[in-house]
């Protein structure tokens, strides 16, 4: 009489282990930077940035090999029905060590030559952009403060 009981318990354990194995799932890591369709905040005083948007500006392309942009990378954004190139100067997700974390994803509009569209940046920008001084020296020149 003990034989059928042990067989039923064995079957129960096999069934339970197969259910546990079926319910496992993987989670992809969170992107610690900007990617396509990310909402951004334009922080310079250009005419497009000062306009009160019905739709927030969004990233439509990131000019990096991986498609993920960090502070100092160029992105293409859609703002007020136009495509504009921008420079990432702050991000919500923490980046590399000793870099500041901002309340919003901040970008500065730039022209194709690298010159900024506005004449002033309204928020502090990270000091890590000083390493890219040759490329974006004019963006650093119009910055009001550094973090």
What is residue 127's three-state secondary structure? helix
**pLDDT tens, N- to C-terminus, the chain (147 residues):** 555 555 555 555 555 555 455 555 444 455 567 899 999 999 999 988 877 767 889 999 999 999 999 998 999 999 988 999 999 999 998 877 777 888 999 999 999 888 999 999 999 999 888 887 677 889 999 999 998
38 token code pair:
């990310």
137 token code pair:
């020296």
What does each C-alpha distance from 38 to 28, 76, 79, 92, 142 come to in angstroms? 18, 11, 12, 11, 25
Closest CA to 42 of 102, 114, 118, 113: 118
Do strands 41-42 and 82-90 pair parallel, antiparallel, or not at all (unpaired)? unpaired
What confidence score (pLDDT) does residue 75 get? 95
- For residue 22, give every residue at least 6 positions away whose Cβ sits within 8 Å of its Cβ, in sequence order, or none: none
What is the distance, to the nearest Å, from the Cα of residue 124 to the centroid of all Cα atoms in its chain? 18
17 token code pair:
């282990």
What confidence score (pLDDT) does residue 12 get? 53
């Amino acid at each position: 009489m003990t034989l059928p009981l042990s067989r039923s318990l064995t079957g129960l354990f096999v069934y339970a282990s197969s259910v546990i194995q079926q319910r496992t799932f993987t989670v992809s890591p969170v992107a610690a930077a900007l990617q396509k369709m990310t909402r951004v905040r334009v922080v310079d005083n250009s005419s497009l940035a000062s306009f009160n948007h019905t739709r927030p500006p969004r990233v439509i392309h990131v000019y990096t090999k991986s498609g993920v942009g960090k502070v100092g990378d160029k992105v293409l954004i859609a703002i007020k029905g136009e495509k504009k190139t921008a420079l990432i100067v702050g991000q919500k997700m923490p980046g590399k060590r000793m870099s500041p974390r901002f309340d919003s994803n901040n970008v500065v509009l730039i022209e194709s030559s690298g010159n900024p569209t506005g004449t002033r940046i309204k928020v502090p920008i990270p000091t890590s952009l000083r390493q890219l001084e040759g490329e974006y020296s004019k963006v650093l020149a119009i910055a009001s403060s550094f973090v």
